[in-house]
């Protein structure tokens, strides 16, 4: 049985429906963007009309960093809940009794997180751009926000950073036995790639299209490797029983002959499947 | 090791009971046959497909497992839960199938209720509807009436009976021996190793000698003189002041001989009945007589 987009989509649809009705997720999705919207707006509006190009560029760069924190942080919290949460609810075992493959489950869950997180990141970016064009007192702000490398980085990094957070979060979730521990670890693990973005934002590296593409490729490779690792970590048996899988040796190992049944002496006889001893 | 030395065959359309004490390996057996747990050794076929690591998705497409806890998404409605699972079974237009499944468990009116708002009995019914979605060849039901009140349990048992009529092979794990006796064509008794397999009446016959219970108005002065020469009576023992248990081969045909002997001896007969052993007696006998289990 091959990979099925239909099964993956069924998981994705379920995830989105659950998010819509989860006060915790709705709350997180509502509060986090507000936090990450207010700070960049304050930075931009504090830039006076006489501030020079270098200072404007530095301020706008820190704005980009803040805009990328939201799509990196939000998925970590949700992804960390994804597997251990199902386990706690008792819904994981029924899922695993269907023909669903682990790759379909993981990708369905990942898409369920990446769609709202990246969508939210892009909306924040659009709101900042719009506010800058309407209300910024320094015209350099608009041109700094419209720089090609910055826009390209925002478009590329938001899904890739979200991807990192999601795979790390799901990986932790597949191994954790407690939702809170998974979410704390997931949030912490989502931060390292932001350090790279910070280096660009603070002009340690000069932003350029090439640099944005190189970092994007590195993040993409990291995301693919993480997906493979998380797939390997997703052990059905461990998730259901809490113990690791003990595989049968190749060829099936010692085989009990059909009809060979241990019985107490008085009961005796064999079983031919039709109720005839 | 959860279970060992277990070998049995279940015929298509059969309701097969799987009984055993806590920790006997029942759930592990179901999980192994359902490809959730890899066996450490041995071989099996489920729905005609060999149980190998590569065949997992194919087997899972043809079976349904309803765990003790149906594990529904409480924030989703009944129909949304079923839509998810229909999608996982690769159904492109699941509406009619979902409608049929809901109808067969009498839940059509509750289709748009959130599962979190349903009683435990209704959730079990949703779990059964979910298990019907892929029209499984084999259905594994793990303690389907656990924690249900008698009315809800009765409804679930009726649904299982309905499955039998649809030709579904049902593998029923339960602690309720009365349920197993009522529903199952055959039962297996497991206590880490398989203790016995057979029809409930067959197990009774194998384990317990058949007997007649005779009750007279007053104690017989010489019971040996009455029962000893009677045709078909292998042995007898007193059970109470005016009650006797006779070991016989064929209770139905021996009872008239016993009646005649009693009347000839001048006894006032109150009753002559065949002694009945329940599946519970069989179960207890097999589990208690298991020296290996006792040593564990």
B31 and B127 part of one domain: yes
B90 and B229 part of one domain: no
Cβ A40 vs Cβ A63: under 8 Å: yes
Q: Do B70 and A248 touch (CB under 8 A)?
A: no
Nearest CB to A91; choose among B71, B90, B206: B71
Nearest CB to A272; choose among B6, B9, B199: B9
Within 8 A of B130 by CB-CB distance, chain A residues are: 94
Nearest CB to B37; choose among A89, A241, A257: A241
| Axis crossing angle, helix A53-89 with helix A102-135, rounded to the nearest 10 | 150
- Kindly state whether residue B112 falls inside one of the protein's structural domains: yes
B162 and B75 part of one domain: yes
Mean pLDDT for the stretch of residues A157-172: 90
The contacts of residue B57 (CB under 8 Å, 6+ apart) are A1, A99, A100, A101
Distance between CA atoms of B270 and A183, rounded to whole angstroms? Answer: 74
The CATH number covering residue B169 comes to 3.40.50.300
| Tokens, residue A213 | 């593409």
pLDDT above 90 covers a percentage of chain B that reads 41
For residue A244, what pLDDT is reported?
A: 53
- Per-position b or e across A186-196, b if 16+ CB within 10 A of its CB: bbebbbebbeb
**CA A34, A35, A41, A44: dihedral to nearest 10 degrees?**
-160
Q: What is the DSSP string of A101-149?
A: -HHHHHHHHHHHHHHHHHHHHHHHHHHHHHHHHHH-SSHHHHHHHT-HH
- Kindly state whether residue B258 falls inside one of the protein's structural domains: yes
B222 and B193 part of one domain: no
**Hey, is A174 helix, strand or coil?**
helix
- Kindly state whether residue B283 falls inside one of the protein's structural domains: no
CB atoms within 10 A of CB B275: 16
The contacts of residue B14 (CB under 8 Å, 6+ apart) are B169, B170, B185, B186
- pLDDT tens-digit profile of B105-155? 888 999 999 999 999 889 988 998 999 999 999 999 988 887 778 887 888
Q: Which residue in B has a C-alpha nearest to residue A260's C-alpha?
A: B7
B188 and B82 part of one domain: yes
Report yes or no: A254 at the B interface, CB cutoff 8 Å.
yes
A residues 21-40 lying closer than 8 A (beta carbon) to B: 21-22
Q: What is the ipTM of this complex?
A: 0.77
Within 8 A of B64 by CB-CB distance, chain A residues are: 97
Cβ B127 vs Cβ A49: under 8 Å: no
Q: Which domain holds residue B234?
A: 209-274
Q: Do A98 and B85 touch (CB under 8 A)?
A: yes
- Helix, strand, coil % (nearest 5) of chain B? 40, 20, 40
The CATH number covering residue B236 comes to 3.30.70.100
Report yes or no: A243 at the B interface, CB cutoff 8 Å.
no
Domain boundaries, chain A: 5-241
Distance between CA atoms of B257 and A188, rounded to whole angstroms? Answer: 86
Q: Do A90 and B41 touch (CB under 8 A)?
A: no
Name which of A196-200, A209-213, B131-135, B277-281 the model is least confident about. A196-200
- Chain B closest-CA separation from residue A272 CA (Å): 7
Q: Is the pLDDT score of A275 beyond 60?
A: no
**Hey, is B142 helix, strand or coil?**
strand
B245 and B102 part of one domain: no
SS3 letters for A91-114?
A: CHHHHHCCCCCHHHHHHHHHHHHH
Within 8 A of B9 by CB-CB distance, chain A residues are: 258, 271-273
Q: Partners of B170 in the beta sheet?
A: B15, B139
Q: Partners of B66 in the beta sheet?
A: B141
B177 and B44 part of one domain: yes
Distance between CA atoms of B23 and B20, rounded to whole angstroms? Answer: 8
pLDDT-derived band at B172 (thresholds 50, 70, 90) equals: very high
Q: In degrees, to the nearest 5, what angle opens at C-alpha B62 toward C-alphas B45 and B112?
A: 145
B248 and B188 part of one domain: no
**CA B74, B77, B78, B81: dihedral to nearest 10 degrees?**
-70
Cβ A110 vs Cβ A170: under 8 Å: yes
Distance between CA atoms of B245 and B209, rounded to whole angstroms? Answer: 11
Nearest CB to A18; choose among B8, B75, B85: B75
Q: Which residue in B has a C-alpha nearest to residue A248's C-alpha?
A: B40
Q: Is the pLDDT score of A14 beyond 90?
A: yes
Q: Which residue in B has a C-alpha nearest to residue A238's C-alpha?
A: B37
Distance between CA atoms of A70 and B198, rounded to whole angstroms? Answer: 63
- Chain B closest-CA separation from residue A270 CA (Å): 8
- pLDDT tens-digit profile of B43-96? 899 999 999 888 888 999 999 999 888 999 999 999 999 999 999 999 989 999
Nearest CB to B31; choose among A240, A252, A260: A240
Q: Do B195 and A267 touch (CB under 8 A)?
A: yes
Q: Do B43 and A255 touch (CB under 8 A)?
A: yes
CA-nearest of B99, B171, B100 to B137 is B171
Within 8 A of A242 by CB-CB distance, chain B residues are: none
Q: Is the pLDDT score of B202 beyond 80?
A: no
Distance between CA atoms of B123 and B104, rounded to whole angstroms? Answer: 14
B36 and B158 part of one domain: yes
Structural domain count of chain B: 2
Q: Is the pLDDT score of B12 beyond 80?
A: yes
Distances (CA, A) of A69 to A189, B107, B253: 13, 46, 88
Q: Do A248 and B71 touch (CB under 8 A)?
A: no
B181 and B34 part of one domain: yes
For residue A200, what pLDDT is reported?
A: 66
Distance between CA atoms of B224 and B281, rounded to whole angstroms? Answer: 29
Q: Which residue in B has a C-alpha nearest to residue A108's C-alpha?
A: B88
Optimal mutation site among A92, A247, A262, interface B, most CBs of chain B within 10 A: A262
- Chain A closest-CA separation from residue B139 CA (Å): 11
- Kindly state whether residue B296 falls inside one of the protein's structural domains: no
Q: Do A89 and B42 touch (CB under 8 A)?
A: no
Nearest CB to B90; choose among A4, A21, A277: A4
- Per-position b or e across B94-115, b if 16+ CB within 10 A of its CB: beebbeebbebbebbebbeebb
Q: Do A7 and B206 touch (CB under 8 A)?
A: no
**CA A238, A239, A242, A248: dihedral to nearest 10 degrees?**
-30
Distance between CA atoms of B56 and B38, rounded to whole angstroms? Answer: 10
């Amino acid at each position: 049985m091959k990979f099925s987009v239909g099964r993956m989509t069924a998981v994705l649809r379920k995830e989105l429906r659950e998010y819509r009705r989860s006060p915790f997720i709705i709350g997180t999705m509502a509060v986090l963007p507000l936090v990450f919207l207010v700070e960049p707006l304050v930075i931009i509006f504090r830039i006076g009309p006489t501030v020079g190009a270098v200072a404007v560029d530095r301020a706008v760069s820190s704005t980009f960093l803040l805009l990328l924190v939201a799509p990196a942080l939000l998925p970590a919290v949700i992804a960390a809940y994804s597997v251990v949460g199902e386990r706690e609810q008792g819904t994981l075992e029924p899922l695993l009794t269907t023909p669903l493959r682990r790759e379909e489950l993981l990708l369905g869950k990942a898409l369920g997180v990446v769609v709202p997180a990246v969508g939210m990141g892009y909306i924040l970016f659009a709101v900042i751009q719009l506010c800058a064009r309407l209300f910024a007192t320094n015209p350099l702000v608009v041109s700094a926000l419209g720089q090609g490398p910055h826009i390209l980085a925002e478009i590329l990094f938001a899904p890739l950073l979200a991807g990192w957070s999601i795979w790390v979060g799901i990986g932790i979730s597949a191994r954790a036995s407690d939702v809170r521990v998974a979410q704390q670890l997931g949030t912490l693990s989502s931060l390292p790639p932001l350090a790279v973005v910070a280096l660009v934002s603070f002009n340690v590296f000069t932003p350029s299209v090439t640099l944005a593409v190189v970092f994007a490729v590195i993040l993409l490779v990291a995301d693919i490797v993480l997906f493979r690792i998380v797939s390997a970590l997703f052990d059905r048996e461990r998730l259901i029983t809490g113990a690791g899988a003990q595989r049968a040796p190749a060829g099936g190992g010692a085989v009990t002959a059909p009809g060979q049944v241990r019985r107490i002496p008085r009961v005796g006889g064999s079983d031919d499947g039709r109720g005839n001893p | 090791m959860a279970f060992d030395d277990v070998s049995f065959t279940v015929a298509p359309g059969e309701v097969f009971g799987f009984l055993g004490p806590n920790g006997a390996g029942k759930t592990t057996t179901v999980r192994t046959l359902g490809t959730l747990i890899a066996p450490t050794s041995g071989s099996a076929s489920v729905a005609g497909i060999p149980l190998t690591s590569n065949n997992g998705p194919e087997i899972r497409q043809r079976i349904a497992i309803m765990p003790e806890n149906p594990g529904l998404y409480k924030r989703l409605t009944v129909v949304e839960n079923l839509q998810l699972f229909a999608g996982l079974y690769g159904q492109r237009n699941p509406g009619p199938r979902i409608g049929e499944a809901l109808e067969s468990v009498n839940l059509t009116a509750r289709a748009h209720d959130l599962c979190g708002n349903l009683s435990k009995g209704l959730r079990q019914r949703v779990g059964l509807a979910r298990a019907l979605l892929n029209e499984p060849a084999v259905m594994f039901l793990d303690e389907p009436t656990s924690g249900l009140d008698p009315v809800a349990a009765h409804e679930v048992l009726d649904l299982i009976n309905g499955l039998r009529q649809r030709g579904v092979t049902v593998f029923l794990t339960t602690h309720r021996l009365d349920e197993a006796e009522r529903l199952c064509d055959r039962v297996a008794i497991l206590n880490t190793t398989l203790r016995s397999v057979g029809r409930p009446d067959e197990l009774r016959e194998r384990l317990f000698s058949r007997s007649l219970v005779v009750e007279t108005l007053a104690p017989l002065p010489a019971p040996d003189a009455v029962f000893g020469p009677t045709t078909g009576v292998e042995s007898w023992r007193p059970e109470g002041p005016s009650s006797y248990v006779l070991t016989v081969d064929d209770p139905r045909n021996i009872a008239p001989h016993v009646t005649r002997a009693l009347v000839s001896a001048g006894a006032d007969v109150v009753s002559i009945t065949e002694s009945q052993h329940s599946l519970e007696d069989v179960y207890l006998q097999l589990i208690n007589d298991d020296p290996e289990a006792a040593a564990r």
